[in-house]
Amino acid sequence: MTNWCMVIDLDKCVACQACSIACRMENNTPVVSPEEAKNGRAIRWNDVFPLPVHFGPDLGEYPNVKTHYQTRPCMHCKNAPCVKACPVQATYIDEEGIVRQNYNRCIGCRFCTVACPYGVRYFNWYKPQWEGTLAEYRNPDQVRVNGSLEGPAVRPVGVVEKCTYCVHRLVKAREQAAAEGREFRADEYVPACVQTCTGKARYFGDLDDPNSTVSQLSKSLRAVHLLEDSGAHPKTLYLSEG
């Protein structure tokens, strides 16, 4: 079985936030008003945030100024705290190592959002809305698992949603391979953020394949996990800056 993994090279990342926008268009995350966003209601599956988080960016003194940014998709942890916390198995790790969310099952208790140390889970405080004609540009792709919608299907109010490594793209790539009557290869699928990345800072592939880019990069001395001490065994890797 494949074990999907993302590697983000922070040396190459220019913090352009294209990944955030690509993710938004690909996964139909609703747009909220600026006031709501200020109040922490924005939904950005792939957030780009300044470092350090808590005491503001340390800019340094002119002309030696420097700002750090980090991009944050879901870590798709091997020992995911959110999965352990969910009382109804609305979130689960599939056999390919992707932490997924069943919107038709979620009861909205928000235990997973509280349990996640990375803060990559988002809650639909209101019914999702799109301004003007934006709704017409929604991604029509859908993934159906046991009859319930997943992936970019528009989420109802009151459920939790999160980055799925664009699982619908995986489903589509598999279907195409099957239609063409050939074996599916791990390099036929990347999430939208990887495809769009301006600095080509993101890599995606099968961690269990020793020849894949991601497994090569995972052996790099620069390879680090975010909050290694959380015990969640996050899978998304970062190549540290400098």
Partner 1 sequence: MLQTLAQHDRDELIAPLYRFDRKFWGIVAFLAAITAPGLLLYGRQLIVGLGVTDLNRPVFWGAYLVNFIFLIGISMAGTVISATLILLKVEWRRPITRIAESLTVFGLMTAGLQIIMDMGRPDRLLFTLIYGRLQAPLMWDIASLTIYLLTAMFALYLQLLPDIAILRDTAPAAVPEWRRKLYKFLSFNWRGNKEQWERLEKAIVTVSVFLIPIGISLHTVTSWLFSTTVQPGWKSTILGPYFVVGAIYSGLGLLIIAMSFARVYNPHLKEYITEKIYTNLGWIFIVMSGVWFYFTLNETLVVTAEQETLEFPIMASKLFGQFSPAFWGMNALMIAATWMLLAPKFVSDKPSRNPLMKTPVGLSAAVIGLAIFSLLWLQPVSVFADPVFQTVFILAFVALLFLALLGVTKWLKTHLIPSSVIASSFVLFGMWLERWNILMPTLTHARLIPYTTYDPTLTEIAVTVSTLGILTLIFVLFYKFFPSISIWEVEEGRARELGAGD
| Residue closer to partner 1, measured from CB, 64 or 146 | 146
The verdict on 185 binding partner 1 (CB under 8 A) reads no
| Residue closer to partner 1, measured from CB, 13 or 171 | 13
Give the C-alpha separation, 79 to 2, whole Å: 17
The verdict on 149 binding partner 1 (CB under 8 A) reads no
The verdict on 118 binding partner 1 (CB under 8 A) reads yes
The verdict on 159 binding partner 1 (CB under 8 A) reads yes
Go through 69-83 and write b for each residue having 16 or more CB atoms within 10 A of its CB, e for each that does not. bbbbbbbbbeebbbb
The verdict on 110 binding partner 1 (CB under 8 A) reads yes
The verdict on 115 binding partner 1 (CB under 8 A) reads yes
Task: Give the residue, chosen from 126, 148, 174, 187, that forms a contact with partner 1 under the rule CB under 8 A.
Answer: 126
- Per DSSP bridges, beta strands 237-239 and 4-9 are parallel
The residues in 12-51 that bind partner 1, with binding defined as CB under 8 A, are 36, 39-42, 49
Amino acid identity, position 27: N
CB 227 within 8 A of CB 74: no
Q: Which residues contact 48 (CB under 8 A, 6 or more apart)?
A: 15, 17, 19, 20, 69, 70, 71, 72
Amino acid identity, position 56: G
Task: Give the residue, chosen from 16, 68, 113, 145, that forms a contact with partner 1 under the rule CB under 8 A.
Answer: 113
| Residue closer to partner 1, measured from CB, 122 or 189 | 122
| Residue closer to partner 1, measured from CB, 120 or 190 | 120
Question: Locate tokens 């592939």: which residue?
Answer: 205
The residues in 208-237 that bind partner 1, with binding defined as CB under 8 A, are 226-227, 230-232
CA angle 240, 241, 242 (to 5 degrees): 125
Give the C-alpha separation, 132 to 161, whole Å: 23
Chain residues binding partner 1 by CB under 8 A are 36, 39-42, 49, 53-54, 72, 81, 84-90, 105-111, 113-115, 117-119, 122-127, 156-160, 226-227, 230-232
